[in-house]
Amino acid sequence: MVTDNSDNWLLRVRGLTKIYGDPISNTIRYTGPKYGTNQCPETDAIVACAEIDFDLFHGEVLGVVGESGSGKSTLVQLLYFDQESTGGDVRFRGFENGDVNLLTVSNQKKRYIRNHLMGMVYQNPRDGLNFKFSAGGNIAEKLLMAGEFHVGRIRDRSSSLLERTEVPVPRMDNAPGSFSGGMQQRVQISKAIANNPPLLFLDEVTTGLDVSVQAKVLDLIRGLQRQLGISMIVVSHDLSVIRMLTDRTMVLKNGRIVEAGLTDQILQDPQHEYTQLLVSSLL
Amino acid sequence: MIETEKFSRSYNYGFIDESTKKEIRRKILKAVAVPGYQVPYSSPEMPISRGWGTGGLHASLSLIGPDDVFKIIDQGSDASVNACNLRNFVRRMTDCRTTFDTAEATIIQTRHRITEEVLTDKQIIVFQVPQPEVLRSVERYEFKTRQMHAEADYAKMWVSLYESYVKFGAIMQGAGYPVKVNKRYIMTPSPIPRWDVPNLSHSDTLHVFAAGREKRIHCVPPHTLVEPLEFEDIKFMVESFDGIQCSVTGGTDAFMDEIYESDGDRKHTINDSNFMDKVRVGIRPRQRLFKNPA
Amino acid sequence: MNPFLEVINLRKEFFLHILNDKKIDALEDINFSMNHGEIIGLTGKSGSGKSSLMKCLYGTYLINEGSVMYDSSQYGKIDLAKATEHEILRIRKKELTYCSQFLQVIPRVPALEIVAEQLIADGVDEGDALEKARSFLNRLGLPEELWDAYPSTFSGGEQQRINVAQAIISEPRFLLIDEPTASLDVRTKDVVIQMILDLKKSGTSVILITHDAYTLANLADRELKLTNGRIEEAEVATA
């Protein structure tokens, strides 16, 4: 069970759906894991994700696993407003106490929510960082958006964030293009947490990094969670990342949740056929 | 090119046809109503290339009437080739009087300067603008810059100022320093030097910024607040000409040109040619001088 | 008196879609109850279902039938077979600790920090937590030069000590511990037994799995023997 009657949620998602192309009334019915496809048989519309229901609790880390094309990245991009949802209802306690469906608020308010109340770390640092600006400038962007117009204070805050994420502070004024992949990822994390958001999205953050660098980034994320109590949604195809970081996990296939539960339960007692296949493929 | 009598008579008054002039006037009114907002306009063909002052001509020729007195400067000078040619063109197309005297003019078209002499509520100043989109340096897509203006999302602009400070120890934007108009839109004041930027704020004059190539008009109406972007601890500064004297007139406290002699020496002269002429004969027109914060 | 834990008609099967819908019966007809402060030893051959039962109690395995009535300090009497994920997470966080046979930790975290981690999460001052972790590792005889090393590089016995220390340092209310004394030398075995007995004194209830007769005899109040997924006999062992 992914949802919960308890009222302690931070983010409550119901019926979140994203369809590319022109859907017809049967599009959702004839796609999904049962049919093994995202594509509507009649109109070629693609159902990236559909009917996603879940609750994220305060301080909780929720994992999202699935193969590429399962809709897991789309899911967080919809929640971070990188893409426009086709339908659904998303409540967020950080914004007007969760009384408003985030998907229907104005662009300006969405931008406010993105910059003040949420953070996102993308798989590709180029999506999260502006490579034309320095590492410090990237962090400054977030702080400026939050109304901090004092260069001295911006630089103090940026240095302490970079220190926190173990990026050498003297490199603050260098362009992220000159950094290693792991360091770029840590700068991205600094930027994402610059305004102390209560909610952080992590989309395949360790994919493509060396194993040793991966471990350091994972440790950093866990430390942030422990010390700052940030709630997180962690998207990964890597089950060991999910095992290390998350309390609960949702398994996505063809844009639907096929199974959800406690992470150790999903990994050790998977119920759905697809999850069993996924877990049995674990190295 | 436009020498014959036949030529000037075969065109409408002010070269542009009446309905197009009307359209441009309406766009200027709209720009006045929304200070700092870039209004798209038709930008009709002119007998000069786009990017050589067509926007300025559109605005000037739409606003001008037979009783107006026209002045045009280029980098402060009434005598540059471009200014002379455009002046001749406007005179032939409108039969207006033209002048070098800033105080006498009713419409002043300019490239890259505001006159040193304070303008009045009887005057309109028209700027030739090469790039009206202040955000172009930080965002290459037009649909995105429009969205950023609509949502007042100016963080990237601020970051570029921050970056300039970090790299050079000062905000190095020399010309076209970004300003916030009426606490809403950020706009470029066309590439005028920082020296001129404070004079946009709460001026008695209407400022019309027209970009012919980019087909945009934006305005700063009289008595409108214009604030250069600055940080709490890093303030906007104008160019400093402390202790520098004009080598021709001995005048000080004006925007100076730096001239290198063939022997490597450096001299300064007042940039605004009409202002310099007045100082030379002992008249000191009224100026608004901005004091840099200590 | 209210039993601390009461397992009623518990059944667990595995349904393996990927092996042509193969069905494996793991546990059947499990009935037992447990008092506050009791230590129960689960025994049986490998494959008899000891670890499965423990994982059913912890929530790692979903229970197919039956109920697990647990007397929670936070929720009162609660059926763990029907509890929500968040209820189980809260119980795990505050009351219930599971210590598996194998150490699973984040790579590149030093041993001492791993042991102290739960205490710090519980709000204990970091200095005090590290101090307590040092004394635990000291008692368990882990050489001091290993305290700052990463446990993934340790030998089986060394990892086992970290594992045990990590599980019992925060004095859980209910401890599930799988083979705590396997691969330990006799001296350390006694230390671990003593540590768990100390826990019991402070009120902890324990279910432990062991193959070791010595550990069972010295630690458990009672033995539950599993054969082929069923409880064979429940007898009172003499402590």
Question: Residues B183-227: pLDDT tens digits?
Answer: 999 999 999 999 999 999 999 999 999 999 999 999 999 999 999
CB A162 within 8 A of CB A195: no
**Predicted local confidence at residue C106, as pLDDT:** 73
* B166: nearest CB among A108, A111, A173: A173
Is C228 strand, coil or helix? coil
* C84: nearest CB among A1, A244, A277: A1
B265: DSSP letter: -
| Angstrom distance (rounded) from CA C81 to CA A33 | 28
**Predicted local confidence at residue B43, as pLDDT:** 95
Evaluated on CA atoms A52, A55, A58, A60, the torsion sign reads negative
Is B57 strand, coil or helix? helix
| Angstrom distance (rounded) from CA A229 to CA C99 | 25
Q: Is A1–C62 a contact, with Cβ atoms under 8 angstroms apart? A: no
Single out the residue of B45, B56, B48 nearest to residue B20, CA to CA: B45
Q: List all residues 6 or more positions away from C68 whose beta carbon is below 8 Å from its beta carbon.
A: C5, C6, C7, C8, C10, C56, C57, C79, C80, C81
Q: Is B163–A149 a contact, with Cβ atoms under 8 angstroms apart? A: no
Single out the residue of B228, B193, B164, B230 nearest to residue B36, CA to CA: B228
Single out the residue of B213, B35, B59 nearest to residue B131, CA to CA: B213
Tokens of B68: 């107006």
Q: Which residue in chain A has the smallest CA separation from C121? A: A226
H helix or E strand, kind and range, residue C170: none
What is the pLDDT averaged over residues C136-146? Answer: 91
Q: Which residue in chain A has the smallest CA separation from C84? A: A4
H helix or E strand, kind and range, residue B60: helix B54-63
| Angstrom distance (rounded) from CA A117 to CA A115 | 6
Tokens of B171: 């905000």
> Per CB distance under 8 Å, which residues of C are interface residues toward A?
14-18, 55, 58-62, 84-86, 88-89, 104, 106-109, 120-121
Q: Which residue in chain B has the smallest CA separation from A133? A: B163
Q: Is B166–A144 a contact, with Cβ atoms under 8 angstroms apart? A: no
CB B124 within 8 A of CB B95: no
Question: Which amino acid is located at A206 in the chain?
Answer: T
Q: Which residue in chain A has the smallest CA separation from C63? A: A269
Given pLDDT bands bounded at 50, 70 and 90, which one contains residue C33? Answer: very high
Query: Around B261, how many Cα atoms within 13 Å sit in the side-chain half-sphere?
Result: 8
**Predicted local confidence at residue C239, as pLDDT:** 41
**Predicted local confidence at residue B279, as pLDDT:** 95
Tokens of B211: 């970009």
**Predicted local confidence at residue A78, as pLDDT:** 97
The domain limits of chain A are 58-84+105-280
Q: Is C109–A1 a contact, with Cβ atoms under 8 angstroms apart? A: no
| Angstrom distance (rounded) from CA B84 to CA B81 | 5
DSSP string, A177-246: GGS-HHHHHHHHHHHHTTT--SEEEEESTTTTS-HHHHHHHHHHHHHHHHHH--EEEEE-S-HHHHHHH-
Tokens of A122: 């993308």
Query: What's the distance, CA B10 to chain centroid?
Result: 31
Q: Is A136–B232 a contact, with Cβ atoms under 8 angstroms apart? A: no
Looking at the DSSP assignment, which residues form a beta bridge with residue C223? C41, C235
Question: Which amino acid is located at A196 in the chain?
Answer: N
Chains that touch C (3 or more CB pairs under 8 A): A
Given pLDDT bands bounded at 50, 70 and 90, which one contains residue C5? Answer: very high
Single out the residue of C136, C140, C237 nearest to residue C183, CA to CA: C140
Single out the residue of B188, B73, B184 nearest to residue B125, CA to CA: B73
Q: Is C108–A248 a contact, with Cβ atoms under 8 angstroms apart? A: no
- Output the CA–CA distances (angstroms, integers) from residue B203 to A214, B119, B125, B252, in the order listed: 59, 8, 11, 23
* B151: nearest CB among A108, A150, A152: A108
Distance (Å) from the alpha carbon of B34 to chain A's nearest alpha carbon: 20
| Angstrom distance (rounded) from CA C65 to CA B109 | 88
Tokens of A273: 């056929």
A/C touch flag: 3 or more CB pairs below 8 Å: yes
* C86: nearest CB among A4, A276, A280: A4
Is C127 strand, coil or helix? helix
A247 touches chain C (CB under 8 A): yes
* C85: nearest CB among A4, A216, A243: A4
Q: Is C60–A265 a contact, with Cβ atoms under 8 angstroms apart? A: yes
Evaluated on CA atoms A243, A244, A249, A255, the torsion sign reads negative
- Residue at C198 is within a domain: no
| Angstrom distance (rounded) from CA B76 to CA B113 | 6
Alpha helices, DSSP H, located in B68-115: 81-94
C/B touch flag: 3 or more CB pairs below 8 Å: no
Q: List all residues 6 or more positions away from A107 whose beta carbon is below 8 Å from its beta carbon.
A: B147, B151
**Predicted local confidence at residue A127, as pLDDT:** 94
Q: Is B165–A151 a contact, with Cβ atoms under 8 angstroms apart? A: yes
> Per CB distance under 8 Å, which residues of B are interface residues toward A?
138, 147, 151-153, 155-156, 158-160, 162-163, 165-167, 231-234
Burial class (CB in 10 A: 0-12, 13-18, 19+), B30: middle
H helix or E strand, kind and range, residue B227: strand B226-228
| Angstrom distance (rounded) from CA A3 to CA C159 | 37
Tokens of A216: 């350091």
Q: List all residues 6 or more positions away from C31 whose beta carbon is below 8 Å from its beta carbon.
A: C7, C8, C9, C10, C231
Best residue in C27, C54, C60 for a mutation probing chain A (most A CBs within 10 Å): C60
A280 touches chain C (CB under 8 A): yes
Looking at the DSSP assignment, which residues form a beta bridge with residue B15? B12
A39 touches chain C (CB under 8 A): no
Q: Is C17–A273 a contact, with Cβ atoms under 8 angstroms apart? A: yes
Q: Which CATH architecture has domain A58-84+105-280?
A: 3-Layer(aba) Sandwich (3.40)
| Block residue for tokens 């590319």 | A20
- Residue at C148 is within a domain: yes
Chains that touch A (3 or more CB pairs under 8 A): B, C
Q: Is A57–C109 a contact, with Cβ atoms under 8 angstroms apart? A: no
Query: Around B102, how many Cα atoms within 13 Å sit in the side-chain half-sphere?
Result: 27
| Angstrom distance (rounded) from CA A87 to CA A18 | 7
| Positions of chain B with pLDDT under 50 | none
| Positions of chain A with pLDDT under 70 | 1-6, 283
Best residue in A269, A271, A272, A280 for a mutation probing chain C (most C CBs within 10 Å): A269
> What is the count of structural domains for chain C?
1
* C108: nearest CB among A57, A219, A273: A219
Percentage of residues in chain C having pLDDT higher than 90: 71
Percentage of residues in chain B having pLDDT higher than 70: 97
Q: Which residue in chain B has the smallest CA separation from A136? A: B163
**Predicted local confidence at residue A42, as pLDDT:** 86
| Angstrom distance (rounded) from CA B135 to CA B146 | 9
Percentage of residues in chain C having pLDDT higher than 70: 97
**For A66, left (φ over 0), alpha (ψ -120 to 50), or beta?**
left
Q: Is C108–A215 a contact, with Cβ atoms under 8 angstroms apart? A: yes
Q: List all residues 6 or more positions away from A105 whose beta carbon is below 8 Å from its beta carbon.
A: A95, A113
* A137: nearest CB among B152, B159, B234: B159
A130 touches chain B (CB under 8 A): yes
| Angstrom distance (rounded) from CA C215 to CA C220 | 8
| Angstrom distance (rounded) from CA B257 to CA B277 | 15
**Predicted local confidence at residue B175, as pLDDT:** 87
| Angstrom distance (rounded) from CA C229 to CA A265 | 20
* A57: nearest CB among C86, C106, C109: C86
| Block residue for tokens 């493929």 | A281
Domains of chain B: 5-134+176-227 (3.40.50.11310), 240-284 (no CATH)
With beta carbons under 8 A apart, name residues in chain B contacting A152. Answer: 233
Q: How many CB atoms lie within 10 A of CB C180?
A: 27
CB B35 within 8 A of CB B52: no
A151 touches chain B (CB under 8 A): yes
Distance (Å) from the alpha carbon of C34 to chain A's nearest alpha carbon: 24
With beta carbons under 8 A apart, name residues in chain A contacting B163. Answer: 133-134, 137
Q: Which residue in chain B has the smallest CA separation from A150? A: B232
Q: Is A140–B151 a contact, with Cβ atoms under 8 angstroms apart? A: no
Question: Which amino acid is located at C82 in the chain?
Answer: K
Q: Which domain holds residue C113?
A: 104-171
Q: Is C84–A6 a contact, with Cβ atoms under 8 angstroms apart? A: yes
| Angstrom distance (rounded) from CA C180 to CA C212 | 10
Question: Which amino acid is located at B74 in the chain?
Answer: D
Looking at the DSSP assignment, which residues form a beta bridge with residue C33? C6
- Residue at C197 is within a domain: no
H helix or E strand, kind and range, residue B200: none
Q: How many CB atoms lie within 10 A of CB A89?
A: 15
- Output the CA–CA distances (angstroms, integers) from residue C151 to A241, A242, B65, C160, in the order listed: 18, 20, 88, 10
